[in-house]
Structures are given as C-alpha cells and as structure tokens.
Amino acid sequence: MTISLTWPQVLAWRLKRQFVDPVTGPDAVSVVRRLTGVQAQVASSAELAVAVRQADPRPGEIDGALWRERTLVKTWTARGTLHLVPADELPSYTAVLGAFRNWDKGSWQRGHGVTAAEVAAILDAVPKALDGRTLTREELVEGVIEVTGDAHLREALTSGWGALLKPLSFLGELCYGPPRDGRVTFVSPRDWVPGWPAEPLSAEEGGMRLVRSFLGAHGPGTPETFDAWLYRGAARKAILRGWFRDLAPELAEVEVEGRPMVLLAEHLDDLAATTPSTGVHLLPGFDQYILAAPRDLEPLLPKEARPRVSRAAGWISPVVVHRGRVAGVWEAKNGELAFDLLEDVPADALAAEARRVAALLP
C-alpha cells in the first residue's frame, strides 16, 4: 500500500535530515555529506550553512578540511556551480557530470565563443599543465600555452575562463587548490584527493550514488526533481529514469498530497512518523534546503516570496523558515539582523534564533 504524506510532514523531515531541526550536525564533512554538497561561490554563505547546523560549530573547520586534511573539495559540480563536496564523493560527481559532455555541442561552443578545436586543445592541455603542480589562474593559462604552443588560446581562456574550467571539473581533471597570497589556485584531483580511484566509476554507479544521497536529505523525490538539482533539468530523461529504475529495490513509493514520489525505503517509517515543524530557523543565502527543492514548490516557497528569495544574477537570499516554509528573508546590517517578513512569525523564537545565528557571523 502506498503511504500518503503531507508537505508539512515532508518539509519537517527534510529539516530534521538536514540537521536544521533539531540542530544536531556533527563535523563539517558529515554535514556537507548529508546535504549532498554545499554551494560555495559565496564562501561565507557556505561556512554559515554548515555552522547553523552544527551542535558545536568550530571556526576554521572548513578551511582545515579543504587545505590540510583534504577531506573536502571545492569545485564545480551540481548545476555547474561551485560546491563543497566530500573528497571521497567527488568521483561520483565526475562520473555523472563528465558523461553529459554538453561542451561538445555546437550551441555551447558558440555561446562561449570557442571552437571545437579550442575546447579539445584546452581539455587536453590543462591536465598536462597541472600534473603534480599547484597553479594560479595566470600560471595555468601560461602552462596551457606552453603545452600547446598556441598563444591564441590565451584569449579563449581569459575571456571564457569560468565556463572553460567547468568541463575540466566535470571530467575530474581540476579542482581548487589552497589559496596563495589571496589568489585562487588549481590542482589535479589525482594529485590532491587522497585515495583518488585508479579507474573511474561508471556513470551508472555514480548516478545511483548521487540519487541515494539526494533522497537521503531532500526526498521524497522524482527523476525530475533530482535532475533540476543536478543539471537544471537538462540531463537525458532515459538515463535518469534508468538510475531510479536500478535503485527500485531500495526505494519506497509514496504520495505527497497526491503526487507520486519515492524515497529510500529505510527512511519510510521515520518520515511517516514525522509531525509538522513549528520552529523558526534562519538559513543563509544559497542554502541547500532551498536550492535542492523545485522553485515552484508552493508549500516551501510561496509565490509571493519567490521574488525576494530568487534575486537578480542568480542570487538566493538568506531565508526565515517557519513551519517548514519560507516566511521571509533576512540580511546582516552592521552586525545586526534585519528581517523582511511575509507572515507572522513568533517574536520570541525569531529573536532567539537571531541571537544564535548572529553569534556565528564573521
């Protein structure tokens, strides 16, 4: 028999799984692992996304995991955006994203002002330039020109820099290295990540691993909701359905207010027993609780809240969450938090959460 659930139940369960309610997150790597990565193009937001979930936040822990222990990696993954991911999970992302190869399409090349030959030359040269080395952006450009002998590639690399690095990240050929004098550096995961596999995972195995991880924090879901999180809805539908089909023995079917979805069978009893959340929570910009859900999920993100949450240039605002749904946005001003609320929120609970989060701000 298919179990029927409500969205308030599902959202409360997601808050629990994501260490938001209650705040029970352990070390930073475990929090990032549970969230299926943390978006990191704004470093302070990524650090706060972890800290607000930790029972005992530790300043500097993420930098230590990135640059000393190498248990976290910073690179482009889901949706082509910068993320923190556990180092031992990066091979799953590269197996999946490297197989999509959207940079082989003429439309992608035209949109980024490069030719197929230039893309091929750069994809071949960067791993050779990085071999055993840690290079700044400028040094990497010079290294590519040294490998290829083609100075014309300088323009392609400097004009479409971020776009041309993403395919290399997807292929597992490049990730962030430790900053040098305030400048970004890049390394090869083969050199940098402990235990990097000698043989790559198959796209099928990588895909199933990511689906498991996604459903464990953001379920129940469907191939479509997973695709929206991973690749903005652009992945081949047959491939996605194949991953879910292969995982069927591990999944349970549910209905969420009439919508068929699936989650990991091991989580079914816990979700079914979950009661709606009543708490008030402050989450930072670009938080996974928002990013991993469909933009049109009204029970989470009411229509009137969307313009305030999804801003110009892809900016995702910090949010006030009450009863599992977005009740407003917030920002830090001169060391204090300012709120733009869309509905009534318990004042005492909001004040207590504001004090907690303010103490975590740099």
Residue 188: per-residue pLDDT: 98
Residue 189: per-residue pLDDT: 98
Alpha helices in 219-286 (DSSP H): 223-231, 237-246, 268-272
3-class DSSP assignment, residue 296: coil
Residue 158: per-residue pLDDT: 81
Residue 313: per-residue pLDDT: 85
Residues 6 or more apart in contact with residue 342 via CB below 8 angstroms: 302, 304, 305, 308, 326, 327, 328
- CA–CA separation, 214 and 194 (whole Å): 24
- CA–CA separation, 137 and 143 (whole Å): 10
- CA–CA separation, 245 and 241 (whole Å): 6
Class of domain 101-192: mainly alpha
- CA–CA separation, 77 and 174 (whole Å): 11
Structure tokens of 2? 């298919």
Kind and range of the H or E run holding 321: strand 319-322
Angstrom CA distances, 101 to 28, 49, 109, 170, 235, stand at 31, 30, 12, 9, 10
- CA–CA separation, 188 and 49 (whole Å): 27
Q: What pTM was estimated for this model as a whole?
A: 0.96
Residue 161: per-residue pLDDT: 62
Residue 155: per-residue pLDDT: 82
Buried b (16+ CB within 10 A) or exposed e, 76-102: bbbbbbbbbbbbbbbbbbbbbbbbbeb
Find residue 221's DSSP bridge partners.
Answer: 262
- CA–CA separation, 32 and 49 (whole Å): 9
Task: Tell me the domain boundaries of the chain.
Answer: 3-89+202-273, 101-192, 280-359
- Report the chain (362 residues): mean pLDDT per 10 consecutive residues: 95 98 98 98 97 97 98 97 98 97 93 89 96 96 93 80 87 97 96 96 97 98 97 90 97 98 98 98 98 96 96 94 98 92 98 97 90
